[in-house]
Amino acid sequence: MNKSLHKHESKGFFASLAENPSTDEFIKGLWKDNPVFVQVIGMCPVLAVTNTAENALAMGLATAVVLVMSNFLVSSLRNFIPKQVRIASYILIIATFVTIIDYAIQAISVDLHKSLGAFISLIVVNCLILSRAEAFASKNSVGKSVLDGLGMGLGFVFALLCLGSLRELLGNGSIFGFAVFPDSFQEWIVMILPAGGFFTLAIWLLFFNVLKAKKEVK
C-alpha cells in the first residue's frame, strides 16, 4: 500500500490523476480553471467574507455544497427544462438549495451565521454557480456534472482560504484564531478592512501572473 502510494507521488500526484479522463473534470476546477484566480468570477463573497480564515472556509464550503447539489439537479433535469425559461429555472433551483444551507448553518452555529450575515443568502447570485449550471451541467451527464461541481467548489474553497488566511495573518496576526506572531507584532489593520480585500486579491493574482510568465519564458 505504502509502496504504491510512493510510486504515485514520484510520478506527480496530479499528473497521474489527470491521465484518467473522468478525473479531468475534477482537476480542472482545482487549478487550471480555478474559478477565482483564473476565471475571476464569483468575486463578491471572495472579497466580502474573507477577513478571517474561518469565515472564508465556511463560506467556501457552503458555496461548494450548493454548487454540487445544483449541478446534480440541473444536469438530471436538463432534458425536461424548456430552453426559454432555463435561466429562471436554474435560479429557482439554486435559491432552493441556498435556503436549505442558510437554515442548516443557522442550526449548526448561530455565531457563524451572524458573522457571515446576508452573504449566505447572496450565494444565490454567485455568478460561479449559475455559470457552471449554464456552461456545464446543462450539457453533460449527471456524474460528470457532480465531479465538475466538486472540483470547482474545492477550487473555490482553496482560493477563499488563500485570501482569508493571508488577510487574517497580516491583519490580526493569527490563523484560524491561533496567534502566530508574538504580541509585539503590529497588525496591518488595513488588511481586515474592505480595501484589504482588493489588495490581497491583487497580490494573489499578481503572484499567479508572475508564475505564469516564468513558465512561458522557460
106 in contact with another protein (CB under 8 A): no
Among 70, 122, 120, 60, which Cα is nearest to 94's?
Answer: 70
Q: Which is nearer to another protein, 183 or 216 (CB)?
A: 216
Give the span between the Cα atoms of 100 and 126, in whole angstroms: 16
Q: Which residue do the cell numbers 467574507 mark?
A: 49
104 in contact with another protein (CB under 8 A): no
Q: Which is nearer to another protein, 5 or 211 (CB)?
A: 211
Residues 6+ apart with CB under 8 A from 215: none
Cα torsion angle, 201, 146, 130, 38, sign: positive
* HSE (side-chain half, CA atoms, 13 Å) at 91: 7
Q: Which is nearer to another protein, 5 or 127 (CB)?
A: 127
Q: Which is nearer to another protein, 50 or 140 (CB)?
A: 50
Instruction: Kindly identify the residues of this chain, within the stretch 159-218, that bind another protein according to CB under 8 A.
Output: 190, 193-199, 201-202, 205-206, 209-210, 213
Residues at the interface with another protein (CB under 8 A): 40-41, 43-44, 47-48, 87-88, 91-92, 95-96, 98-99, 102-103, 118, 121-122, 124-127, 130, 190, 193-199, 201-202, 205-206, 209-210, 213
